[in-house]
């Protein structure tokens, strides 16, 4: 399969949002529903060609149209989500969102029969068979391929605080993992995941992408599941770090921050700023801290010589970029904290009910 060229990188600052959800019954428990919702019926017009499914028959994904202004994110997300929930309810289903569904047991759930997923299951085996994860992916348009690669390189350090802010998956297969984002740890057991290495320029990234396809390591470029990547089909930088969340305000805050960060990094690239020099091992350690501790995490600084806690990071970014909504995310209990509190107070039934849109 051919890889895309540089011509797709032609617009700066546009947005696209992909949200992964769980199809559930009235009790909030995962249930197979992709045949009815994807293959056997026509979705509402806003979801035409923007509704697909993931690995399991209980998982479904929406994609927004291209969003021209960050000011439109909240209203477009509301429209997309309303269309999805209406479509699901018309067929007897409900929709839920979290990084992991706490009651989803991969050994009891059916996989999708789509050839692409069957090929992944055959190639990857156990890590993919148990991959019940659900994420939020944010695309920001970039108007130059080398700029896109530079921005993706720089974003690598910011991904761990972003994950900590979004952490919303403490339970897996009914068990408290002790992690704030169990999803991130489960997902990175797949190949071609996690924090990528630094790429020198677009040519270097394209050569890598092409080599991975040509050598059979991946079937298509979409199987480079790194936490951030230049997306050569859409001409975007795609951030794939955050956990899914039922609260649209959380999603909007994350999207607004990612957009502001990409715009800021684009300006720094144009000003000739030198790139980030930090060991990959420190980036991996930062991600582990986000996975484990969520809002309580602290991180190795960009220069690798000090430590910064999440509160200080958020305060700095709010002042630097004017993204006040992420301040609210930090000040409120994290998704992981809310899930644990609900489980303690109401058990698994109450927790599952709380995750429905």
| Residue 175 covered by a domain | yes
Is 256 part of any domain?
yes
**In this model, does residue 168 exceed pLDDT 50?**
yes
Residue at 271 is within a domain: yes
Q: What's the Cα-to-Cα distance from 170 to each of 87, 173, 184, 243, 291, rounded to whole Å?
A: 29, 10, 10, 11, 9
Residue 101 lies in a domain: yes
For residue 183, the surrounding DSSP H or E stretch is helix 182-187
Whether the per-residue pLDDT at 262 is higher than 60: the answer is yes
| Measured CA angle at 42 (ends 40, 48), to 5 deg | 125
What phi and psi values does residue 59 have, to the nearest 5 degrees? Answer: -120, 140
pLDDT of residue 4: 58
pLDDT of residue 253: 98
Q: Look at residue 2 in the predicted model and tell me its pLDDT.
A: 42
Per DSSP, the residues of 205-248 read HHHHHHHHHHTTS-SSGGG-EESEEEETTTTEEEE--SBP-S-H
Residue with tokens 């692409």: 116
Closest to 288 measured CA to CA, from 167, 190, 154 = 167
**Tens digit of pLDDT for each residue in 29-46?**
999 999 999 999 999 999
Neighbours of 16 (CB within 10 A): 20
Cβ atoms of 335 and 167 within 8 Å: the answer is yes
Phi, psi of 171 (to 5 degrees): -110, 140
Q: Quote the number of domains for the chain.
A: 1
What the block records as the tokens of 355 is: 């995750």
Angle in degrees, CA 211, 217, 219, rounded to 5: 95
Mean pLDDT of 228-253: 97
pLDDT at 303: 86
Phi/psi at 60 (5° precision): -145, 155
Tell me, yes or no, whether 1 lies in a domain.
no
Angle at which helix 310-321 crosses helix 248-270, to 10 degrees, equals: 70
First to last CA, the chain: 38
DSSP 295: G
DSSP characters over 77-122: HHHHHHHHHHHHHHTT-EEE--SB-TT--TTTSPBP--HHHHHHHH
Spatial separation of the C-alpha atoms in residues 273 and 276, rounded to whole Å: 9
Taking the C-alpha atoms of residue 199 and residue 153, their distance in angstroms, rounded to an integer, is 7
Confidence category of residue 277, pLDDT binned at 50, 70, 90: confident
pLDDT value of position 215: 95
Cβ atoms of residues 112 and 56 within 8 Å: yes
Query: What is the model's pLDDT at position 305?
Result: 87
Contact by Cβ (8 Å): 135, 187:
yes
DSSP annotation of 38: I
Q: Taking 90 as the threshold, does the pLDDT of residue 199 lie above it?
A: yes
pLDDT score at 276: 84
Mean of all residue pLDDT scores within the chain? 96
Q: What is the pLDDT of residues 330-352, one digit of tens each?
A: 999 999 999 999 999 999 999 99
CATH code of the domain covering residue 140:
3.30.590.20
Residue 60 has pLDDT above 80, yes or no: yes
Residue 156 lies in a domain: yes
Handedness of CA 126, 128, 134, 138 (dihedral sign): positive
Average pLDDT over residues 197-209: 95
pLDDT value of position 3:
47
3-state secondary structure of 197: coil
Q: Is the predicted pLDDT of residue 165 greater than 70, yes or no?
A: yes
186 lies in some domain: yes
Note down the domain range covering 279: 6-354
pLDDT at residue 1 greater than cutoff 50 = no
Instruction: Report the C-alpha gap between 288 and 277 in whole angstroms.
Output: 19
pLDDT at position 304 is 84
Q: Say what percent of the chain tops pLDDT 70.
A: 99
């Amino acid at each position: 399969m051919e890889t895309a060229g540089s011509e797709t990188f032609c617009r700066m600052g546009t947005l696209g949002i992909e949200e992964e959800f769980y199809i559930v019954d009235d009790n909030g428990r995962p249930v197979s529903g992709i045949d009815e919702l994807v293959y056997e019926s026509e979705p509402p017009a806003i979801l035409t060609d923007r509704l697909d499914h993931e690995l399991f028959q209980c998982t479904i994904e929406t994609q927004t149209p291209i969003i021209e202004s960050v000011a439109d994110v909240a209203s477009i997300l509301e429209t997309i989500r309303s269309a999805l929930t209406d479509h699901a309810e018309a067929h007897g289903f409900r929709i839920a969102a979290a990084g992991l569904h706490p009651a989803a047991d991969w050994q009891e759930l059916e996989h999708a029969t789509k050839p692409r997923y069957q090929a992944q299951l055959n190639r990857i085996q156990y890590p993919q068979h148990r991959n019940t994860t659900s994420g939020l992916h944010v695309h920001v348009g970039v108007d130059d391929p080398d700029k896109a690669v530079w921005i993706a390189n720089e974003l690598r350090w910011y991904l761990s605080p972003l994950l900590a802010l979004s952490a919303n998956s403490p339970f897996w297969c009914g068990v408290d993992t002790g992690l704030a984002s169990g999803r991130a740890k489960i997902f990175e057991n797949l190949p071609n995941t996690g924090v990528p290495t630094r790429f020198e320029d677009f040519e270097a990234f394209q050569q890598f992408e092409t080599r991975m396809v040509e050598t059979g390591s991946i079937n298509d470029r979409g199987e480079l599941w790194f936490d951030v990547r230049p997306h050569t089909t859409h001409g975007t930088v795609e951030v794939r770090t955050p956990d899914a969340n039922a609260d649209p305000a959380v999603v909007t805050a994350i999207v607004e921050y990612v957009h502001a960060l990409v715009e800021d990094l684009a300006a720094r690239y144009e000003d000739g700023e030198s790139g980030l020099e930090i060991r990959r091992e420190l980036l991996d350690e930062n991600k582990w801290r986000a996975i484990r501790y969520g809002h309580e995490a602290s991180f190795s600084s960009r220069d690798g010589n000090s430590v910064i806690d999440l509160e200080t990071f958020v305060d700095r970014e709010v002042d630097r970029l004017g993204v006040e909504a992420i301040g609210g995310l930090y000040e409120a209990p994290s998704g992981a904290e809310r899930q644990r509190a609900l489980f303690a107070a109401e058990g698994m039934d109450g927790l599952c009910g709380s995750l429905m849109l």
